[in-house]
Amino acid sequence: MENSAKNRARILLVEDHASFRQALAFMFEREPEFTVVGQAGSISEARGSLDGVDVAVVDLGLSDGDGTVLIEELSKSEPRVMTLVLSATLDPAVLPARWRPAHRVCCTRPSPYRTSWMRYGGSRPVRLCCLRTRSWRCSAWWAGSARGRSRPRDPSSERLTRRELEVLRALAEGMDSQKISRRLGITIETERTHMVNILSKLGLRSRLQALVFAVRHDLVEIR
């Protein structure tokens, strides 16, 4: 599915570990839904790269200060920009105290992984999501959802069966083929058949695209 430049979510990556930032940028750029318009390794670099940004993915521990400083600046100067926080801790105490009362914490399940992604929605109600079992893919999901949350339902989605919608919902919970098949009581082969049919009906090429599409068109609910 082609996506014109103006429909892509424009992403600014603020992360001081360059190898990860570059890998993340490369993977975002491979997806038609996103375009990386800037990369910064520090708060000072990020301040010069805010023009035209839809989503800022911000590491909290930056070389010249705390990423929360940048996020607060963004929420005042660019309130429409959605911010994703990348943190190596699940402890809400890393966030400024004034943010915490509005947080709703969603932990998917116990996991040893220490990576969490949090979303700070500026003046809107804040939601803190600890996606402990998800890989880098979750960033794409949230970025996609940030730009297109209010889009109308796409007519092609009406062709999905109840079972296919169940597969999409499980996918939105971060499940892989094995877990989805277990949840739905079907074989992995059947799950893959459902996924192939979903992609075909929606004109998509990957599970990630299906996930973004589902979130954008309210086919799944973000928990």
Partner 1 sequence: MNSGADVTERGGGEAVRLLMANEPRAYREGIAAAIRELRPGVEVTTVEPDDLEGSILRLTPDIVVCNRATSPVREGVSVWVELYPDYAPWSVVSVRGVRSTLAEIQLPDILSIVDLTAGA
Which pair of tokens denotes residue 192?
A: 């893959």
Interface pick for partner 1 out of 11, 40, 85, 86 (rule CB under 8 A): 86
Interface pick for partner 1 out of 45, 49, 61, 201 (rule CB under 8 A): 61
Is 16 near partner 1 (CB under 8 A)?
yes
Show the binding pattern over residues 87-106: x = contacts partner 1 (CB under 8 A), - = does not: -x------------------
State the minimum distance, in angstroms, from the CB of residue 195 to partner 1: 19
Interface pick for partner 1 out of 64, 100, 113, 176 (rule CB under 8 A): 113
The identity of residue 217, as a single letter, is H
Pick the closer one to partner 1 by CB: 34 or 194: 34
Nearest-CA neighbor of 39 among 30, 123, 28? Answer: 28
C-alpha 39/C-alpha 25 separation (Å) is 8
Pick the closer one to partner 1 by CB: 142 or 219: 142
Is 115 near partner 1 (CB under 8 A)?
yes
Show the binding pattern over residues 135-174: x = contacts partner 1 (CB under 8 A), - = does not: xx--x-----------------------------------
State the minimum distance, in angstroms, from the CB of residue 4 to partner 1: 23
Using CB under 8 A, list all residues that contact partner 1. 16-20, 22-24, 26-27, 30, 41, 61, 63, 86, 88, 112-115, 135-136, 139
